[in-house]
Structure 1
Amino acid sequence: MRPEVMGDMRHRLLRVVTTLLLPTSFVMAAGGHECCLAAALNPPAASTIIGTIPSPVVTTPTTQNFPAPSSLQVVHWWTSDGERRAVSVLINKLAEQNIQWRDAAIPGGAGIGAGKVLKSMVLAGNAPEVTQLNGVIFGEWSDLGLLLELDRVATQGSWQKLLFPTVWSLVNNHGHVVAAPLGIHRINNLYYNTAIFKRLGMTPPTSWDEFDQVATRLQQAGITPLAQSSETWQVATLFETLALSESGPAYYRQLFVDVSPKAFADPRLLHILKRLRKLRQFMPQPVTERPWTEVAHSLADGRAAMFIMGDWVKGEFNAWGLNVDQQFGCAAVPGTADYHLYSIDTLAMFAGDYSHQPAQEVLAQLMMSPAVQADYNRFKGTISVWRTPDLNRMDRCSTNSWRTFSKGAASQAPSLVHRMATDETTKDAISAEVRRFFTDERVSELEAQQRLISIARALPHTARGD
């Protein structure tokens, strides 16, 4: 890339990164606690993180579509056992085309660490060829002119016809396709240890009254009812799930897409906060900050009976040799059986000097191929982004997820935590305040609601969807 182009790109990116990493002003307006987001402003150096996760074994290339070996550096946060199995599908398919996947896996749930490292790499002039990007942030990167447009690949592959409308809309920005989709996660899942439930003669709860009864019975049996971490994104994931359970997707969107101060002032939010606090009594004491994989282990080994989390947990259980309806079961979180709280896995390509465009387009084509859609999603725990996938290759959990998502937008809710609903600044501010309430019992439900209202009011009109 020419130095003058690179300099202009850095200047424009700096403006956007500054915007993305300045939540302090309105957090202060909500009552201080700049420290809640200070860690987001000080990411570890990329050199200390990238490459710490070993790459899966790559198969020997079987075909050669390029005159010389090509490679793509890929920044992502798929580092757990199940996630690595899914990534290996892409690595091996690329290898068959004589394209090397240069792994830059950044540990950290919800992509928090990866996002910071990515921005540092781009500002330093070392943008990767491919990056995992989720949600509305596509538009911010694309508007800078940094992302490769995949219109030709999408047209040749009939993506608009194949994809769910929600997915097609997500990967488009101002009429151009700027990312390639992989799979759809359902987040509002209740996982349970089948051996424990069978021993106690219980079935998974479908209402919160039933949940309380089941949890009480588990406590009496000396079993922790609900596994949970105090890590910010995990607490916020539970919070957004409870919000969906409270009043469905319409009110959920008022909260996290519109970020409406009126919605945050609604009595329903107070009820959500009360439910969140009540659930603490059913969690391990104290609730410590643990990676989601460790929390999942506590359910798998019987220390806890239930876990509310996205279906990446199912992919992890499968990687450990556990199977649906044998060692673990899955159900919708009480009150959400008809709804789908979703996050969509996607990869975007940095245009750079366009020298990697052929290889990048091959990757995009492979991601939408029947083989990758089937195998990646089977390992990841997700469902295909295709409207009509092969249902025979899905387990019960995935089939229920696909049927619910297929109902359309009225049943779908975009995840706040996983960047489907709003910008990074808004997500971080709401998540930090929810964690503060969750971890500090001195903060009342009413005080937390007032602070969330203040955050919503302090946001720019554009962030609120006005």
Structure 2
Amino acid sequence: MLFFANAHAQTVQVLHWWTSTSEEKAIAVLSGRLAQENIVWKNAVIPSGSGIGAGIVLKSRLLAGDAPEIAQLNGVMISEWAELGLLQELDGVASNAKWEKLLYPTVWHLIQPNGHPVAVPLGIHRINTLFFNRKIFARFNVAAPANWDEFELVAQKLQRAGITPLAQSSESWQLATLFETILLSESDANFYRDAFVNKNSQAFLDARFGRALSRFRSLKKYMPSPLNERSWIASARMLADGDAAMLVMGDWAKAELNSWGLATDVGFSCAAVPNTANYHLYDIDTLVMLNKGAAARMAQEKIAQIAVSPVMQAEYNQIKGSIPVLRNPDLSKLDSCAQASWKIFSRGTAAQVPSLAHRMATDEISKEAIVAELIRFFSNDNVAVSDAQRRLAAISHTLPK
């Protein structure tokens, strides 16, 4: 009987960039449930912390006529691919499961850029998360900094004791992740959107943007020296091993720390990046279904149905470190970090801020252009703040609106 079931299983290939221990465990929860429906999840993994490589591979495979059944595709890119008519519409699944009522409005809007749902939302990550090593903080009797003045005092105290205050990589997307949290901390949600969503040239020339650039560069003295390119997993390992006291990273880092045996609020804790406690800088994980014919469609729709179900949402996000995309999830499975994340995101659009680094705020061309200039500024201390601002303002005139 087992052989019979396997012989008639529907295999779906899923192209994604989830490679860490916690990400693999989260996938295992979903794929295990799919196996009960005789659907085989076949990984097509493209290692890349930011998904750049996966996007390139997906385009290449489409051009070659070898598209996978499912692909991880986040943020604004969903709209871009939907406009090309390459994505399977999921109106039936969404209607039957009442997605419009179940999902947060921000999530619902994201997945139906053309009036039809074309993506399956899995979870919501909070980017403006400050992780800190509890043993180090207890040893030096310091608390999680709520503002930058407190951060400076904590960082200086730790540095005098020979401890690296802030784990960081020189990878572009990780530096961009840090900067966007700083910009939010030096301004507010409306200003952030004006710069990164509207690409208003005046926002880049504003004093608040200048302060964010200065803060960005000033934090270099608290990072590892020399500052090398390392994966986000390696950055999280620095925190776990006590080689660094703090880390600014999306809450997927929490999941990885948990997978190594570090319990939330025991080995480490979460706080908001200084001055951002009232905001949720978000990244939403989503899967899209590629047009692959009727046989694939049945499996794709079943996967969509299962992924958004309350039970799967609770189990998957508990492991992944994110919060469910549902307005009223099972809160019993949320730890303190997730509880705080859920509470802020639930306040609505005024508190929800789309991540630039993780494709929520703008298109890929604009993101890459802005990030390249930020990295240029960060890497070269001879570039003046005002020069970087003028260059960004000039670039903004050339970007899609």
* TM-score, normalized by the shorter chain, greater than 0.5: yes
Q: Distance in 2 between matches of 1:448 and 1:84?
A: 39
Tell me which moved more, 346-355 or 412-421. 346-355
- The residue that corresponds to 2:278 in the other structure is 338
2:378 corresponds, among 414, 438, 449, to 438
Q: Is 1:402 the equivalent of 2:342?
A: yes
Code of the residue aligned with 1:283 in structure 2: it is: M
* Pair 1:441–1:151, CA change in 2 (3 A): same
- The residue that corresponds to 1:121 in the other structure is 61
Code of the residue aligned with 2:221 in structure 1: it is: Q
1:108 corresponds, among 48, 69, 83, to 48
- The residue that corresponds to 1:221 in the other structure is 161
Code of the residue aligned with 2:217 in structure 1: it is: R
Q: Is 1:136 the equivalent of 2:113?
A: no
Q: Distance in 2 between matches of 1:61 and 1:193?
A: 48
Q: Distance in 2 between matches of 1:445 and 1:403?
A: 36
Q: TM-score, normalised by structure 1?
A: 0.84
TM-superposition CA deviations, 1:60-92 (whole Å, max 9, x none)? 98997x992111000001111111111111110
Structure 1: unaligned runs, 5 residues or longer: 1-59
Structure 2: unaligned runs, 5 residues or longer: none
Q: Secondary structure at the match of 2:235?
A: helix
% identity of equivalent residues: 54
TM-superposition CA deviations, 1:81-133 (whole Å, max 9, x none)? 11111111111011111111111011011111111111111111101100000
Alignment of 1:378-397 (within 5 A): 378-397=318-337
1:277 corresponds, among 211, 214, 217, to 217
CA contact (8 A) 1:142 1:173 kept: yes
Q: Distance in 1 between matches of 2:274 and 2:184?
A: 10
Q: Distance in 1 between matches of 2:80 and 2:113?
A: 9
* Pair 1:192–1:121, CA change in 2 (3 A): same
Alignment of 1:280-299 (within 5 A): 280-299=220-239
- The residue that corresponds to 1:361 in the other structure is 301
CA contact (8 A) 2:82 2:114 kept: no
Q: Distance in 1 between matches of 2:215 and 2:3?
A: 55
Q: Distance in 1 between matches of 2:64 and 2:30?
A: 27
Q: Distance in 2 between matches of 1:261 and 1:319?
A: 43
- The residue that corresponds to 1:180 in the other structure is 120
Q: Secondary structure at the match of 1:97?
A: coil
- The residue that corresponds to 1:53 in the other structure is none
TM-superposition CA deviations, 1:201-231 (whole Å, max 9, x none)? 1100001000000000001111000010010
User: What displacement does 1:173 show?
Assistant: 2.1
Alignment of 1:29-428 (within 5 A): 68-428=8-368
CA contact (8 A) 1:377 1:383 kept: yes
Code of the residue aligned with 1:265 in structure 2: it is: L
CA contact (8 A) 1:73 1:102 kept: yes
User: What displacement does 1:284 show?
Assistant: 0.8
CA contact (8 A) 1:186 1:342 kept: yes
Q: TM-score, normalised by structure 2?
A: 0.98
Code of the residue aligned with 2:38 in structure 1: it is: N
User: What displacement does 1:441 show?
Assistant: 1.5
Q: Distance in 1 between matches of 2:304 and 2:2?
A: 18
Task: Please give the root-mean-square deviation of Cα atoms over the aligned residues, in Å.
Answer: 1.5
Code of the residue aligned with 2:326 in structure 1: it is: W
User: What displacement does 1:371 show?
Assistant: 2.1
CA contact (8 A) 1:61 1:97 kept: no
User: What displacement does 1:143 show?
Assistant: 1.3
* Pair 1:190–1:77, CA change in 2 (3 A): same
Q: Which runs of 4+ in 1 moved over 4 A?
A: 60-64
* Pair 1:80–1:67, CA change in 2 (3 A): closer
Code of the residue aligned with 2:190 in structure 1: it is: A
